């Protein structure tokens, strides 16, 4: 893992005169969409049985960037799909922040997440740690802190895979390739942490067709969130697999 990371840094430094202007251009011209409006929590499904308490914790996709309301974002769509599959109500909460890294989430979002009990926590991180060039050590430490803090309360903890940034159409080709390689390194490390911590990993296999993306070419559209939520619900409604297992959730 360290050799791969060193190889990435070596190639990036060699290409810096080309990729730095691309990165500055992408930052200056990127379409910036706001987080989803509306309540950051809700209840779906018929009343009666005790609801499954679902927590989503993470970056812009948990904040719902790309759609207008949280009900159409990942939290709302996953809750709806789980309710249908499990035939029970789901009480969901979304603790997300646009642009946040895992380290920042430990400081700013984790206390909020732990304020109420949860049965199932789905953690969505990786894009910002990739683009902010977070070190593997910082990534490792943050993942373990998040995992242990949530699991200590008896919560089922599930991490989603780091998205393959090489397919983000909003970024120039060479920058996409370099960040995609970095994202794959972060994802490999995430898998190892999940295995060692005894929590679950859900592989993220994204289709970046136009209908699945928002206007910014970076976040899911309403359709993308719906298909992502349904795929996750299919995997999560099964019995928990071995620690670090990688059942696919297709978007």
Superfamily of domain 2-250: SGNH hydrolase (3.40.50.1110)
Question: What confidence tens digit (pLDDT) does each residue in 10-57 have?
Answer: 767 777 777 777 777 777 777 788 899 989 999 998 777 899 999 999
Question: What confidence tens digit (pLDDT) does each residue in 58-105 have?
Answer: 999 999 999 999 999 999 999 999 999 999 999 999 999 999 999 999
- The rounded distance, in Å, linking the Cα atoms of 96 and 227 is 20
- The rounded distance, in Å, linking the Cα atoms of 119 and 53 is 5
Question: What confidence tens digit (pLDDT) does each residue in 101-136 have?
Answer: 999 999 999 999 999 999 999 999 999 999 999 999
| 156: β partners | 120
- The rounded distance, in Å, linking the Cα atoms of 157 and 26 is 34
pLDDT band at 9 (very low <50, low <70, confident <90, very high): low
Q: What's the mean per-residue pLDDT of the chain?
A: 86
Comparison of pLDDT for 86 and 7, the residue scoring more: 86
pTM for this entry: 0.86
In DSSP notation, 114-153 reads TTS--SEEEEE--HHHHHTT--HHHHHHHHHHHHHHHHTT
- The rounded distance, in Å, linking the Cα atoms of 25 and 235 is 39
In DSSP notation, 159-177 reads EEPPP-GGG-TTS-HHHHH
Domain ranges of the chain: 2-250
């Amino acid at each position: 893992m360290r050799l791969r990371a060193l190889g990435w840094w070596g190639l990036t430094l060699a290409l810096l005169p080309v990729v730095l202007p691309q990165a500055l251009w992408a930052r200056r011209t990127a379409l910036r969409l706001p987080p989803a409006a509306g309540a950051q929590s809700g209840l779906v499904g018929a009343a009666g049985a005790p609801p499954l308490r679902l927590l989503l914790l993470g970056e812009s996709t948990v904040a719902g960037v790309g759609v207008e309301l949280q009900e159409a974002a990942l939290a709302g769509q996953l809750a709806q799909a789980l309710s249908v599959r499990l035939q029970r109500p789901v009480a969901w909460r979304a603790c997300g922040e646009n642009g946040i890294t895992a380290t920042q989430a430990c400081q700013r979002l984790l206390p909020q997440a732990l304020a109420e009990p949860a049965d199932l926590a789905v953690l969505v991180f990786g894009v910002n740690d990739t683009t902010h060039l977070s070190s593997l050590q910082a990534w490792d430490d943050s993942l373990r802190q998040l995992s242990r803090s949530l699991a200590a309360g008896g919560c089922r903890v599930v991490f989603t895979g780091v998205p393959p940034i090489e397919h983000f159409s909003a970024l120039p080709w060479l920058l996409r390739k370099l960040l995609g390689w970095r994202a794959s390194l972060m994802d490999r490390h995430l898998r190892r942490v999940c295995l060692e911590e005894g929590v679950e990993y859900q592989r993220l296999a994204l289709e970046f067709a136009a209908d699945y993306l928002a206007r910014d070419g970076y976040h899911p559209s309403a359709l993308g969130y719906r298909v992502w939520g349904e795929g996750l619900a299919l995997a999560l409604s099964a019995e928990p697999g071995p620690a670090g297992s990688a059942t696919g959730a297709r978007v």
